Structure 1
Amino acid sequence: MCKLMVLDDDPIQHLIFRRMLNRYKLAHETFYSYSGYDVLSFLSAHKKDTSELPEVIFMDINMPGLNGWAFLDRFKDLYPQLNKLIEIHIVSSSINPSEIKRTDMYDFVKSYIVKPITSERLEQILEPH
């Protein structure tokens, strides 16, 4: 089991993740956030403490404030300072091919999942951790 983060501005998505993770016991610890700024602050504050950092981040793209693309750009700058490899998986309602292709710019983005995420897909991503 792993430590993970869910970054999404929709409380329903938090509930969906919480229920699946609890039902299938897929994560050791989960941090939920509505704000990309808060996640970046947390990661920056704990960049040397690998026990606090997640193995996986699930995140939306279309969010108010700091949207997913801006988050990924800032994470890209922070990533080399982290003492842990972190996978990001995009979970978005957008099926726009250019958005899906755009994720190729980020080596740490491992997949683009169109909402809703299924328990099978969640298990497939988290099982290796």
Structure 2
Amino acid sequence: MRKLVFIDDDPIDHFLMKHILRGKNYFDITTYTIYGSLVLDYIEEYKSQPEKLPDMIFVDLNMPLFSGWDFLKRMEKMYNEISKEIPVFVISSSLRPDDRATSSKYSFVQDFISKPVNGEEIERIIHTQNVTGS
């Protein structure tokens, strides 16, 4: 069972991702949330049960309360304890080269995607990660 988690505070970005994935069988379960801290709580709780963990995470950098940076820092602290590799893809409207460079320093971050997300980019990522339909 393939699981995707999409963390973003913008409902328009949720809509765009849903539209991109509509009709595709890449993931059995897709979770859309604004609460990156809750995703990390879940990962922490089930870190030794790989079948319950997500197969891929997209996270926005700029969010109020608990930012993508907060997510990356906390994920880094527990990543070695997780029983499965979870590729993380940063999405951002930031034009700052520093953001791209800083996010790439996290070993689990696979790519930095500029907003708005587009279908071709998402398709490329999914195929690169060998996500297949069920």
Say yes or no: TM over 0.5: yes
Task: Indicate the SS of the match to 1:102.
Answer: helix
Report if the CA contact (8 A) 2:86-2:108 is conserved.
yes
Task: Indicate the SS of the match to 2:83.
Answer: coil
When the two structures are superposed, what TM-score results if normalisation uses the length of structure 2? 0.90
Supply the distance in 2 between the matched residues of 1:43 and 1:32 (Cα, whole angstroms). 15
Task: Indicate the SS of the match to 1:72.
Answer: helix
- RMSD over aligned CA atoms reads 1.3
* Deviation by residue 1:26-73 (Cα, 9 ceiling, x = unmatched): 322111110111111111111111111111100100001111111101
Report if the CA contact (8 A) 1:5-1:31 is conserved.
yes
Unaligned runs of 5+ in 1: none
* Deviation by residue 1:63-114 (Cα, 9 ceiling, x = unmatched): 0111111110100011111111000001111111011111122011010010
Name the aligned partner's letter for residue 43 of structure 1. I
Unaligned runs of 5+ in 2: none
Superposed structure 1 runs of 4+ greater than 2 Å apart: 23-26
Task: Indicate the SS of the match to 2:9.
Answer: coil
Report if the CA contact (8 A) 2:104-2:111 is conserved.
no
Name the aligned partner's letter for residue 112 of structure 2. Y
Report if the CA contact (8 A) 1:2-1:126 is conserved.
no
Supply the distance in 2 between the matched residues of 1:21 and 1:52 (Cα, whole angstroms). 21
Report if the CA contact (8 A) 2:87-2:110 is conserved.
yes
Percent identity over paired residues = 35
Q: What residue number does 2:11 align with?
A: 11
